[in-house]
Structure formats: structure tokens, C-alpha cells
Amino acid sequence: MGGLCTTSYSELKNTGQTVAGTEIPEWVAKAGRDLFAEAATVAQTPYSTFAEGAPPRSQLYDGSRLTEEERQGYGILSSGAESYMPFMNRASEVANTLGQGYDGMSQSELLGDPFQGASRADLLGDYQGATREELLGDYQGATREELLGDPFSLESAQPYMDIYQSAMDPAVREIEEQTIRSQNDARARAATGGGGFGSRLGIMEATTAGEGAQSAGDLRAGAARDGLTFATGRYDTERSARAAAENTMRNRFTEDRAARASTEDRLRGQFDSDRASRFNAEDTMRGQYDTDRAARFSADTQGRDTYSTNEASRIQQMDAYQGMAPLVQDLQTQAAAGLIGAGEARRQLDQNALDLAYADYLDQRLYPQEQINFALGALSGTPYNTINRSYTSGSNMSANPSLFGQALSGMGGLYSAYKLANN
């Protein structure tokens, strides 16, 4: 076994080997021994916990590691985690009312039952008017012979003349009686006048008789002439009367025929008016049917448009509620983030101060080790001469590093680890 700073040798298993070693100067060995003693003293220092004399590792705020701003922000996030739900629930309620479809009238309800109007026979009717024969009639008037009568002659005029002469007979008898009275007067004067008056009596009687006969003849001739004229006029009057009666009857027939035609026209006009009324009533009913059907279509269209408008409005409401949910969520998140960010900034500032104090604490705690490592580094960097020795022996020996070399190597590694940690 060798000393602290010398090489030791171990017995080798095989003989005939050569073993080499290196010896360092005494001052180096002394410095190594002093540093080792100092390191041993440091190594024997009891471990001190973090709480013993060290500054706090993290800042507490009223017993909490979070600042007031952070607690408020996290409180907003916690309490407002479902703040969007009322809007989503409302949007869901609106969505449940969507897409149910418009329950409008069916095709049969819109069109209605087919219009059952009057038939063409009912509209036109069947007018049974008078026949042409009934309208015109059949006039059976007097013939031309009946109207004109027999040709005028004395024979045909005699009845009218006899009537007229019968009316003249009293005047003729009055003349005859006047003639007789005049003759009687003449005879009476002749009887009282003597015999010379007789010849004149015959003359007077002849004259009176002639005058009476003349007067009677004139009267009868005038009567015959007037009778003939009367007969002619009477004949013409009766013929005119027959013609007038025929005209009257024909006119009456014509009036009756015109009345029948007028009645027929009135009946036909009434029929046409009734038929027009039936057509007007039919048109009115058909128009009302079309109006009712158009009203049903209009109501259905209006209802469908109203449904579409309401549907669009509900969709807008749903979209608005859905849009409010993330907006509210974002606003709450932004507010919470602002508070949390402010709290984190405050805590970071406070933590930076604690970290600086902790770093100072670590520097103070590791100062002895640093000093030892610094001295080791200085010692290891100081040049010095060494003596190399080798042995060839029959004994089985192996070279072992000195304790100082081992310590120096270990302390150098510790120093390197410390530097790496601090960097």
C-alpha cells in the first residue's frame, strides 16, 4: 500500500510483467491533502433543508399560490364555463320548431268539389210556342161575288125603288084627291052657274084632270128617278157596307193575328229573358265558385308565405343565439385571460424576485464547494514535474492510482457538474 499521493502496487497473477507508475512532487501532494481535508469537512456538513434559513421558493397570496387577479380570472372561467348554455338551449328550442313543414290544404281542399252547374238543357230550356198555323190563323172572308153582289139592274133596283115609291104613294094620292076636289068644285060652280057654264066645266075638268095627272106623273117620274138614284145609292151603300164589314172582319182578324204574334213574341221574349237569367245565374254561381277557389288558393299561398317568413325568422333567431354563445364565451374568456394574465405578470415579477433570492441562497450554500473546486482547478492547472517509475518483478503486482489522484479526479468532476448546472 502506498501513501496519499504515491502509487500503490497490487500483486499480479502473472509473473514477468512490467508495472509503471508516476510520482508527483510533495507540494502538490500537500495541497491535495489540504484540499481533501477541506472537502472532507464540507462533506461532513449536515444537509440543511430548504426551509432552514432559505427564502421562500414561491410567493403565497393569502395562503394561495395564485394572485387575486388569477383567482378572479379562474373564477370567471369556472363560473362561466357553461355561460353559453342558455343561448344554446334557446337556439335548440328554436331549432326544434324548424322543418316541421307547412300543413296546408290538400289539392282536393284547394280545388273543391267539381262545379255541378245546370245542364245545357236546363240552361237552354225548351220553348213550346204557337205553331205557324196558330199564329197566322185561317181567315175565311166573303167572296168577291158576296162583296160585289149581283150586277146592278132595274130588276135588282126595283126593291129599293118600290120602297121609295111606296113612300111616294101618299103624295100621289094627295094629288089625285086634290084633282078630284078641284073637279068637284068646278061641277059645283057649274051647277050653280047656269047652262052656259057646262061647256067650260068640261074644259075645267079636263084641265084639272090633266094637271093632276101631270102632277102625279111628275111626282111619280121624280119618285122613279129619285128611287133609282136611291136604289143606286142604297146598292152602293150596301156593297160598301159589305166591303167595310169585310175590312172590319179582316182588320179584326189581322189584329187578332198581330195580338197572337205579339203574345208569342212576349212569351218568346220572356223565355229568352228567363234563359238569359238562367245563364246569368249559372255564370254568377260559376264565378262565385271560381272566386271561392281563388280565395282558398290565396289563403293557402299567404299561409305558406307566412310559414316561410316565420321559418326564416326562427332560423335567424337560432343563428343569433348560436352566434351569441361563442361571443359570450369569448368575452368571458378574454376577461378571464386579462385577469389571469395580469395576475401571472404580477406573480412572475414576484417569482423573479424569489428566484433571485433563491439563486443567492444557492450561491451562498455552494460557496465552500465552489472554493474547493476553484482551488482544485487551480491546482490541476498548475504545471509540475513528475517521476515515472516502472518495475519488472517476479512478484505479481499491479499499479493502483493514489487516493489523491482519485479525489482530484472526483472533485474535478463535481466542479464540472456544478458549472454545467449553473450554466
Grid coordinates of 413: 468532476
Confidence label for 377 from pLDDT (cuts 50, 70 and 90): confident
Question: Rounded to whole angstroms, how far apart are CA atoms 362 and 368?
Answer: 11
Please report whether residue 48 resides in a domain: yes
Return all residues near 46 (Cβ < 8 A) that are at least 6 apart.
none
**165 or 316, higher pLDDT:** 316
CA distance 339 to 68: 9
Percent of the chain having pLDDT more than 90?
5
Question: What are the Cα distances from residue 90, in Å, to 80, 84, 313?
Answer: 17, 10, 14
pLDDT band at 407 (very low <50, low <70, confident <90, very high): very low
Find cell 460557496 and name the residue.
367
Query: 190-239: per-residue pLDDT in tens?
Result: 667 655 555 566 666 666 666 667 776 776 777 777 777 777 777 788 88
Is the model's pLDDT at 68 over the cut of 50?
yes
Containing 421, the helix (H) or strand (E) segment is helix 403-422
Q: Which range among 94-98, 231-235, 375-379 has the greatest average pLDDT? A: 375-379
Q: What does the pLDDT read at residue 22?
A: 78
CA distance 215 to 221: 10
User: Residue 262 above 70 pLDDT?
Assistant: yes
- Segment 273-284 shows an average pLDDT of 91
Question: Does a structural domain hold residue 12?
Answer: yes
Dmax of the chain from CA atoms?
273
Give mean pLDDT, residues 265-290.
Answer: 91
**What per-residue confidence (pLDDT) applies to 2?**
44
Residue 60 forms part of a structural domain: no
Task: Name the residue among 84, 104, 97, 86 with its Cα closest to residue 314.
Answer: 97
- CA angle at 370 for the pair 366 and 376, rounded to the nearest 5°: 150
283 band by pLDDT with thresholds 50, 70 and 90? very high
Task: Quote the cell numbers at residue 172.
Answer: 100621289
Nearest to 83 by CA among 317, 333, 315, 338: 333
Q: d(Cα 109, Cα 112) in Å, to the nearest integer? A: 5
Residue 50 neighbours by CB under 8 Å, 6+ apart: 57
Can you give the pLDDT at residue 291? Answer: 92
Mean pLDDT of 233-255: 85
Q: How far apart are CA 103 and CA 374, in angstroms?
A: 95
The number of folded domains in the chain is 1
- Domain membership of residue 36 (yes or no) is yes
Q: If you write DSSP's letter for every residue of 195-217 in order, what string do you get?
A: TTHHHHHHHHHHHHHHHHHHHHH
pLDDT (tens digit per residue) in 103-139? 777 888 888 888 888 888 888 888 888 888 888 888 8
Mean local confidence (pLDDT), 52-72? 74
CA nearest neighbour of 257 among 149, 417, 71, 132: 132
**C-alpha cell, 82:** 357553461
Rounded distance, CA 405 to CA 380, Å? 10
pLDDT tens, residue by residue, 321-374? 777 777 777 777 778 788 888 888 888 888 888 888 888 888 887 888 888 888
DSSP symbol at 64 = B
Distance CA 213, CA 175 (A): 8
Q: What gap in Å lies between CA 190 and CA 278, rounded to an integer?
A: 111
Q: Is the distance from CB of 111 to CB of 294 less than 8 angstroms? A: no
The domain in which residue 2 lies consists of 1-53+386-399
Is 44 within a domain? yes
Q: Residue 276 has what pLDDT?
A: 92
Helix or strand (DSSP H, E) at 304: helix 197-365
DSSP assignment, residue 44? T
- Return the number of other C-beta atoms located less than 10 Å from residue 140's C-beta: 8
Task: Please tell me the predicted confidence (pLDDT) of residue 394.
Answer: 54
Q: Is 279 a member of any domain?
A: no
Place of cell 246569368: 280
Nearest residue to 37 via CA among 401, 414, 376: 376
Residue 46 lies in a domain: yes
Share the mean pLDDT of the chain: 75
Residue 280 scores a pLDDT above 90: yes
Residue 41 lies in a domain: yes
